[in-house]
C-alpha cells in the first residue's frame, strides 16, 4: 500500500540540511501528476522540476504548455504523462491560452455554468517559449492581470530542437547557433533578465527557483497558486545533454548555480525583493563553469569577465533586497 506522503529531510546532519535548504523534515505528497515513464533525457533536471512543481500545484489546476522539451516527452499520441488537465497548442502563446481558460472559467462560474471552483490556470514554457517567441503573449497576460501562474523552465537554450541559443543562453556558452569558434567565444550577449521583466509588470509575485532546492521550489509554487493575480516563477533547469555535463551532476550543478551567485534564489512580492538563500561568500564561478562542456572553451579572461558581472549583479540584488526591508508603518515609494 503506497504511502500518501513521504517525509523528506529526516535525520539530516546540519551541513546537508544547509546544502539542500531542507531545514526540517517535510511531508511531500507521493502523487505523481507528471507520470513516470516520460521520455526526457537521462538526468534531466527540467523533468525533475516539472515533477516537483506538479506536487505543489495539486489537482485543481489546468496547465497550458508550450512546444518544447517537456511537451514532447510527455505527450506522444496516443499517450500522455499528465494526470491533470493539460493542453498544448503552439510555441509562443502559452500565456494567451492560459489567460483564455482563466477568463472562460471566470465567466462560466459567474454565470452558474460550471461547478468548478478556484481552478488555477497555469502556463508552462521553456526559456525560448518565454523570453523570445513567447514574450509578447506573456507580457499581455501579465498586464491584463489574469489570475494565473506562469512558470518558465529555463534550460538556457532551445534544447528540444538541438541546443540552439536563446536570449536566456548565458554569456560565453557554446550552442549550435552561438558556437565557440576561432573568432567567437560563443554567446555574445548576457542572459536576458526575465524575472526583472516580470517584476516590471507590477505583478504580485515573482520568484526564481531551482529543483536542487526542492522544498524552496515547492513552497514558491504553493505561494504563487495562492496569489490572487499573475505570478511568475523562473526555474533553472540543468540540461546534461545541452550543457554537456555528466547526468548524475544535474542536481549538484543547479546547486552550484545558486552557490556561485549565478542564479540567486529570490522572491519579489509586490515589488519587495527578498533573497531566500543569502550566501555570505559566493563560490567562484569556475566551480560551476568547469563542470560543463558548453563552457570548456572559455579563456581565463572571459571567465574573469563573467565573475565580475556575477559579483556585480549579486551585489545589486542584495541592495534591492536590503532596500525592500521597509520599517513597519512607513510608506514605500511606488
Partner 1 sequence: MTKSEDELTWKDLEIASIVTEPGSASKYKTGDWRSQRPTYKFKKCIKCGLCWIFCPQACIYQDDEGYFVADLYHCYGCGICAKECPTGVITMVEEGE
Partner 2 sequence: MPSKIGMEVSVAIGEAVRLANADVIAAYPITPQTHIVEHLAELVADGKLDAEFMPVESEHSAMSACLGSAAVGARTFTATAGQGLELMHEVLYIASSMRLPIVMTVVNRALSAPLSVWGDHSDAMAVRDTGWIQIFAENGQEVVDNVLCAFRIAEDRRVLLPVMVHLDGFHLSHMIEPILLPEQGEVDQFLPPNQYPLPLDPNKPVTMGDFGPPAIYTETKWAQEVNLRQAKEVILQVWNEFGDTFGRHYTPVECYRCEDCRVLLLTMGSFSETAMSAIDKMRSEGNDVGLIRLRLWRPFPFDEIRQAVRNAEVLIVLDRALSFGGPGGPVCSEIKSALYQSGRKLKIVGFVGGLGGRDISIAGFEEIINRGIEISEVGSPHEFEIFGVRE
Q: Which residues bind partner 1 (CB under 8 A)?
A: 2-3, 6-13, 16, 20, 22, 28, 32, 34-40, 42-45, 47-48, 51-52, 74-84, 211, 214, 246-252
Task: Tell me whether residue 37 or residue 78 sits nearer to partner 2 (CB atom).
Answer: 78
Judged by CB under 8 A, the chain residues 90 through 129 that form the site for partner 2 are 90, 92-93, 96-108, 110-111, 113-114, 116, 119
What would the grid cell of residue 226 be? 495562492
CB of 79 to partner 1, least distance (A): 4
Task: Tell me whether residue 98 or residue 173 sits nearer to partner 2 (CB atom).
Answer: 98
**Which one-letter DSSP state was computed for residue 16?**
H
Q: Which of 156, 91, 157 is nearest to 124 (CA)?
A: 91
Task: Tell me whether residue 249 or residue 285 sits nearer to partner 1 (CB atom).
Answer: 249
Task: Tell me whether residue 136 or residue 176 sits nearer to partner 2 (CB atom).
Answer: 136
Q: Please, what's the b/e burial string for 113-140 (b: 16 or more CB within 10 A of its CB; e: otherwise)?
A: eeeeeebbbbbbbbbbbbbbbbbebbee
Residues 6+ apart with CB under 8 A from 167: 127, 131, 132, 189, 191, 192
User: Which range, of 70-78, 277-285, 290-298, 301-309, touches partner 2 by CB under 8 A?
Assistant: 70-78
Contact 49, 217 (CB under 8 A): yes
User: Which range, of 36-44, 81-89, 176-184, 326-334, touches partner 2 by CB under 8 A?
Assistant: 81-89
| Size of the residue set binding partner 2 (CB under 8 A) | 49
CB of 193 to partner 2, least distance (A): 21
Burial (CB count <10 Å: 0-12, 13-18, 19+), residue 237: buried
CB of 253 to partner 2, least distance (A): 29
CB of 323 to partner 1, least distance (A): 35
Handedness of CA 104, 108, 114, 115 (dihedral sign): positive
Whole-number Å distance between alpha carbons of 59 and 333:
39
Whole-number Å distance between alpha carbons of 229 and 220:
15
Q: Please, what's the b/e burial string for 248-275 (b: 16 or more CB within 10 A of its CB; e: otherwise)?
A: ebbbbbbbbbbbbbbbbbbbbbebebeb
Task: Tell me whether residue 67 or residue 175 sits nearer to partner 2 (CB atom).
Answer: 67
The site partner of 103 among partner 1, partner 2, none (C-beta below 5 to 8 Å per kind) is partner 2
Task: Tell me whether residue 23 or residue 79 sits nearer to partner 2 (CB atom).
Answer: 79
CB of 71 to partner 2, least distance (A): 7
Task: Tell me whether residue 74 or residue 208 sits nearer to partner 1 (CB atom).
Answer: 74
Task: Tell me whether residue 89 or residue 114 sits nearer to partner 1 (CB atom).
Answer: 89
Length of the chain as a residue count:
334
**17 contributes a contact to partner 2 by CB under 8 A:** no
Report DSSP letters for 255-295, one per residue: HHHHHTTSS--EEEETTEEEESS--SSPPPTHHHHTT-GGG
Judged by CB under 8 A, the chain residues 130 through 169 that form the site for partner 2 are 136-137, 139-140, 143-144
CB of 205 to partner 1, least distance (A): 24
**Which residues make up the interface to partner 2 (CB under 8 A)?**
59-62, 64, 71-72, 75-80, 82-90, 92-93, 96-108, 110-111, 113-114, 116, 119, 136-137, 139-140, 143-144
Amino acid at each position: 500500500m503506497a504511502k500518501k506522503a513521504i517525509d523528506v529531510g529526516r535525520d539530516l546532519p546540519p551541513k546537508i540540511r544547509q546544502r539542500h535548504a531542507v531545514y526540517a523534515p517535510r511531508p511531500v505528497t507521493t502523487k505523481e501528476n507528471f507520470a513516470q515513464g516520460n521520455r526526457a533525457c537521462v538526468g534531466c533536471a527540467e523533468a525533475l522540476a516539472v515533477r516537483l512543481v506538479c506536487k505543489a500545484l495539486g489537482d485543481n489546476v489546468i496547465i497550458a504548455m508550450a512546444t518544447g522539451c517537456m511537451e514532447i516527452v510527455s505527450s506522444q499520441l496516443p499517450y500522455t504523462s499528465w494526470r491533470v488537465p493539460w493542453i498544448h497548442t503552439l510555441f509562443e502563446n502559452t500565456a494567451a491560452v492560459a489567460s483564455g481558460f482563466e477568463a472562460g472559467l471566470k465567466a462560466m462560474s459567474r454565470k452558474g455554468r460550471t461547478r468548478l471552483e478556484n481552478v488555477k490556470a497555469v502556463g508552462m514554457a521553456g526559456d525560448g517559449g518565454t523570453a523570445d517567441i513567447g514574450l509578447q503573449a506573456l507580457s499581455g497576460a501579465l498586464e491584463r492581470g489574469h489570475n494565473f501562474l506562469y512558470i518558465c523552465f529555463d534550460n538556457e537554450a532551445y534544447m528540444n530542437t538541438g541546443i540552439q541559443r536563446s536570449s536566456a543562453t548565458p554569456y560565453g556558452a557554446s550552442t549550435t547557433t552561438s558556437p565557440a569558434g576561432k573568432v567567437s567565444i560563443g554567446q555574445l550577449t548576457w542572459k536576458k533578465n526575465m524575472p526583472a521583466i516580470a517584476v516590471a509588470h507590477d505583478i504580485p509575485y515573482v520568484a526564481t527557483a531551482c529543483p536542487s532546492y526542492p522544498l524552496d521550489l515547492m513552497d514558491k509554487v504553493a505561494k504563487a497558486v495562492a496569489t490572487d493575480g499573475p505570478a511568475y516563477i523562473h526555474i533553472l533547469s540543468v540540461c546534461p545533454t545541452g550543457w554537456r555535463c555528466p547526468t548524475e551532476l544535474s542536481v549538484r550543478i543547479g546547486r552550484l548555480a545558486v552557490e556561485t551567485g549565478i542564479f540567486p534564489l529570490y522572491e519579489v512580492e509586490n515589488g519587495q525583493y527578498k533573497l531566500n538563500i543569502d550566501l555570505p561568500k559566493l563560490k567562484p564561478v569556475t566551480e560551476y563553469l568547469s563542470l560543463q562542456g558548453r563552457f570548456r572553451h572559455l579563456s581565463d579572461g572571459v571567465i574573469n569577465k563573467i565573475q565580475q558581472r556575477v559579483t556585480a549583479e549579486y551585489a545589486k540584488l542584495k541592495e534591492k533586497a536590503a532596500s525592500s526591508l521597509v520599517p513597519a508603518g512607513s510608506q514605500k515609494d511606488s
